[in-house]
Structure 1
Amino acid sequence: MSPAPLLRVEGVRAVYGDTVALHGVSLDIADNEFFALLGPSGCGKTTLLRSIAGFETPASGRIEVDGEDLLRMPPHKRPVNMMFQSYALFPHLSVERNIAYGLEADGVAKAEVRRRVGEVMDIVGLGPLAKRRPAQLSGGQRQRVALARAIVKRPRLLLLDEPLSALDRQVRSSMQLELKRLQHEVGLTFVVVTHDQEEAMSMADRIAVLREGRLEQLATPQELYANPASRFVASFIGTANLLDGVATADGVEVRGVGSVAATHALAPGLPATAVVRPEDVQLSTDAATAGLRGTVVDTYFLGGASTISVEVPGILAPILASVHGASRIARGDEVGVGFGRAAVVAAEPAAASVTDPAEPLAEPAAQGASA
C-alpha cells in the first residue's frame, strides 16, 4: 500500500468572471517530492499554485496537506511558504535580516533565529554575504536569499513561482542543479510553476502538464518524453517531428512517408500522429538508395550534438534530426531519411506541427515550449 500523499488536490475548479481557469483539476504530490506544474501562459498553473498558498479561493474542490483541509485556513496559518518570481526582498535590510524577517515576525526567540538563519545561510552558500544588501548582490545571489528566507521557516510545502525566470541563461542552468540539490538537502517538498519545459525536465521528479485549465498528463520527465498522452504534450515536451496519418496494427501509415513503427498502437483506422524525436531520425548521405529523400535546409551546431533540418517532399514541416558532435552534412545536401520507433498519439483536429518552416530554429532543444 503506497503512503498517503502530502498534498492532495481534488476537483479544483477556479473561475474568473466568465473564464474558467481550472476545470476540476485533481493530483497528488508525495512527501519530499520535487513536483513541477508546467504549461503555456494561461493554462492555470499559477492559479493552482496561488490556490494552494491561499491567495486564490477556488469555486469548488478540496486541497489538503497531510489530510487537513487547507481551504478552511487563512494563508498565514497554512504549513506552506511561497517564493515569488520577483523575490520581494527588502532593499534596506541585509541578507541575514531578510532571511530572519519571517522568524522575527512569528516571535521566535533571538537565539533560535540566529541559529536557524546561520544554518540556512551555510546550506545555500550565503555566509560570506551576510551583511550585504540586495543591491550589492547578483541575480543568482538574490535568488538564494529568497530561497533561504522561504525555507528557514521549515514549511511542509514550498511553492516556487517561476523562480529562475529573472536569471540569465548560464546562471539559470546552474541554479536548476542547485535547487535540486537544496531540495534533497533540506528535505522539503517543492512545487514549482514554470512554462520552461527544459527547466521542469531537469529538476522535477514528476511533472503535471496543464492546458487550458485541464490536466493533460502527469508523469515522470522520462515518461512524458517517451510516451506523451497527446499531441500537445508531444509538442510541448522537447522537440518532436509530428507525422499525421492513420493508425495501423503496429504504428502509423503516413502519406508520402509510408509506415512508421511505434512503441505502442492505437485502434487501426483511427487518425493518429507518429511522434518521432530528432535522435530517432536516421540520415544517410547515400540518398540515391534511400526510400525517403530530402534536402538539408539548415544545420545547427550545439556543442555536443548538431540538429539537421531536412525538407522532405510531401511533408509540410522540415524533419529535424539530431547527430552527435559536429556534422559533415551541409546545407543543400541530398540525404536519405529513416525513422526509428515512434510514440503514437491520437490526432487532434487543426493541430499545428511543432516544427513550422516559417519559424527560425534558433534553439532547437527548446522547440515546442510556449512563453
Structure 2
Amino acid sequence: MTSAPLLRVDGVRAVYGDTVALHDVSLDIGDNEFFALLGPSGCGKTTLLRSIAGFETPASGRIEVDGEDLLRMPAHKRPVNMMFQSYALFPHMSVEKNIAYGLESEGLGRAEIARRVAEVVDVVGLGQLAKRRPAQLSGGQRQRVALARAIVKRPRLLLLDEPLSALDRQVRASMQLELKRLQHEVGLTFVVVTHDQEEAMSMADRIAVLRDGRLEQLATPQELYANPASRFVASFIGSANLLDGTTTVGGVDVPGLGVVEAAHALPVGEPATAVVRPEDLELTDAATTGLRGTVIDTYFLGGASTISVEVPGLEAPLLATVHGASRLARGDAVGVRFGRTSAVARDDAGAAASAQEAVSA
C-alpha cells in the first residue's frame, strides 16, 4: 500500500489453551477499503476480527488504527463498530429506535439523533419501514437495519462477521451489491469475515486468505484468481484443475500428460502443481489435437456450461467451461488444449512469505 494504512495488524498471535488460533499475522488495511478475511472454518478469521473489535485479547502483537494502539483501549472506546451474524436487533423497538439506540447511549441530543437516523435510514432504503418492528421485516430488511445501526455512529472501521449467511441465495446476491454500494456511499472502511469465496470475490477490494491461523496470501480478487500463491489458495478461490507433477523448464511435467506450460516458473525439479482454470481449458474436435478425452458429464449453469472430461492417465477428470448451452453429450470424444496456467508449490512452501511480501507491496 502506498499511503499510511488505516488499520495495521502486526505480528498478532492468539492462543486458546494448547491451540494457536493465529500465528503472527500481519496485514494493513487502507482507508475506505472493502477488505475481506476469507478462509475455511477454524482458520482464525473470526478470532482476528474479534481481536480488532476488542472482544479477544491476542497473546502478542499490535493492532493500530490511525497509529493508535487499540490493544490499550477497551472495546467500547475503540473507533470500531461490529455487525454480528444474528443482527441482534431489539424486537420491541421500531426500525428507527433500533438505529438510534447507540446514539442515545452516547447522550447525543434529540435533534442530532433524529437527523442522523433519518440520514442513514435514507441511505439504506428503509424510509417506508422506519416505524416497523424487526418481526415485520424480511431477512434482507433486518440486515439493512443492523447495518444502519452500525454505520450511524460513524466508526472509522466497520467489522462484519458473516453478514449475509442468514439470507437465502437470491437475497444474498442482491445484498452483496448493496453492501458494496453502501460502503462507497458512506465512505467507511469495511472488514468482512466470510467463508464464501464468491461473496468475498464479488465485494472486496482486497482479500486476505487464512488457513490454520496463517496468512496464505493477501491480494486483489483478480490476483488471487490468476496468480495463487499456493495450492491451497488455488483450490479455495474458484474452480481449478490441479495437476500435480514436477517442475521443468517452462512448466510442470505431469505424469500421464506431459509438460503443461506455466506462466510463472518455479525452480526446476521440485514438486509443483499446474493450475488450470476451467475457462482456460479449450475443447476441440478430437482429431485436431494430440490430447484426447471423453465427455463424462455436462452441467448447464445458465450463461455457461461446465464439461467434465476424462483423460487417460489422469486420476481426476478435467473441467472445462464453455459459453451458453453445450452440444456435447456424455461419451463424446473431444480434444483438449490448455490455455493460461499458473504453477504453484505443491506443498504450499513459501506461501506465507509471499503473503507477507504482498502486505508491503
TM-score range, shorter chain: over 0.9
Please give the residue correspondences for 1:31-180 in structure 2 after superposition, counting only pairs within 5 Å.
31-180=31-180
Amino acid at match of 1:341: R
Q: Deviations over 1:294-331 (max 9, x none)?
A: 11111111111100011112111110000000000111
- Give TM-score scaled by structure 1 length: 0.93
**Deviation string, structure 1 residues 73-118 (Cα, Å, up to 9, x no partner):** 0000000000000000000000000000000011011100000000
Is the 1:89–1:98 Cα contact (8 Å) retained in structure 2? yes
Matched, 1:335 2:358: no
The RMSD of aligned alpha carbons is 1.0
Residue 313 (structure 2) pairs with residue 305 (structure 1) = no
8 Å Cα contact 1:231-1:273 kept in structure 2: yes
Q: Distance in 1 between matches of 2:111 and 2:9?
A: 38
How far did 1:290 drift?
A: 2.7
Query: Which letter maps to 1:305?
Result: A
Q: In structure 2, list runs of 5 or more residues that go unmatched.
A: 349-361
1:323 matched to which residue of 2? 322
Would you say the 8 A contact 1:34–1:205 is kept in 2?
A: yes
The equivalent residue for 1:314 is 313
- Partner Cα distance (2:152, 2:240) in 1: 41
**Any idea what SS the aligned residue of 1:9 has?**
strand
Q: Residue 55 of structure 1 aligns to a residue in which SS?
A: coil
Quote how far apart the aligned CAs of 1:67 are: 0.2
Letter of the aligned partner of 1:153 in structure 2?
A: K
Query: Bigger shift: 243-252 or 219-228?
Result: 243-252
Q: CA deviation at 1:289?
A: 4.3
Amino acid at match of 2:114: R
- In 2, distance between residues paired with 1:66 and 1:114? 29
Indicate conservation of the 8 Å contact 1:299/1:331, yes or no: yes
- The SS at the match of 2:229 is coil
Q: Deviations over 1:122-167 (max 9, x none)?
A: 0000000000000000000000000000000000000000000000
* 1:207-240, Cα deviation, whole Å (9 max, x unpaired): 0000000000000000000000000000000000
Aligned to 2:353: none
Q: Distance in 1 between the 2:256 and 2:164 partners?
A: 43
* Other structure's SS at 1:306 match: strand
Structure 1 letter corresponding to 2:106: D
Contact between 1:260 and 1:341, CA under 8 Å: does it hold in 2?
A: no
Counterpart of 2:330 in 1: which secondary structure?
coil
Match of residue 362 from structure 1: none
Aligned residue in 1 for 2:254? 254
Segments of 4+ moved more than 6 angstroms? none
Letter in 2 for 1:344: A
1-side partners of 2:67 and 2:106: how far apart?
A: 25
Q: Distance in 2 between matches of 1:42 and 1:141?
A: 29
Query: TM-score, normalized by length of structure 2?
Result: 0.95
Alpha-carbon shift at residue 250 of structure 1 (Å): 1.1
Counterpart-to-counterpart distance in 1, 2:11 and 2:176: 31
Report the counterpart of residue 352 of structure 2 in structure 1: none
The answer to whether the aligner puts 1:225 opposite 2:229 as a matched pair is no
**Contact 1:52/1:63 (<8 A) preserved:** yes
Distance in 2, Cα, partners of 1:289 & 1:339: 14
* 3-state SS, counterpart of residue 175 of structure 2: helix
Q: Is the 8 A contact 1:140 1:175 kept in 2?
A: yes
Give the distance between the partners of 1:312 and 1:85, measured in 2 at CA: 44
What is the CA–CA distance in structure 2 between the aligned matches of 1:81 and 1:258, rounded to whole Å? 53
Unaligned 5+ residue runs, structure 1?
Answer: 350-371
Structure 2 distance, partners of 1:220, 1:250, is 26
How many percent of aligned residue pairs carry the same amino acid?
85
Aligned length: 348
Q: 1:6-21 maps to which residues of 2 (within 5 A)?
A: 6-21=6-21
Task: Map Cα deviations across residues 185-220 of structure 1 (whole Å, 9 max, x no partner).
Answer: 000000000000000000000000000000000000
2-structure distance, mates of 1:330, 1:117: 57
State which drifts further: 107-116 or 330-339: 330-339
Instruction: Say which SS state the counterpart of residue 146 (structure 2) adopts.
Output: helix
Match of 1:293 in 2: 292
